[in-house]
């Protein structure tokens, strides 16, 4: 979906932000899943 072959600075920043958001979301999801498992094991 990138219009130009050479990525623009804002495209690089957007990709970095998207990857950071995805990694943070997956990390919080893993923590929540682990906490729920620990809660049910009690």
- Give pLDDT tens digits for 7-33: 678 888 899 999 999 999 999 998 888
What does the alpha-carbon distance between residue 9 and residue 20 come to, in Å, rounded to a whole number? Answer: 16
Nearest to 26 by CA among 34, 38, 14: 34
From residue 3, alpha-carbon distances to 6, 8, 10, 19, 40 in Å are 9, 10, 13, 20, 49
The pLDDT assigned to 42 comes to 64
The pLDDT assigned to 38 comes to 74
Q: How many CB atoms lie within 10 A of CB 11?
A: 14
């Amino acid at each position: 979906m990138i219009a130009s072959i050479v990525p623009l600075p804002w495209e690089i920043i957007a990709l970095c932000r998207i990857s950071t958001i995805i990694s943070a979301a997956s990390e919080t999801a893993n923590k929540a899943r682990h906490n729920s498992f620990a809660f049910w094991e009690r």
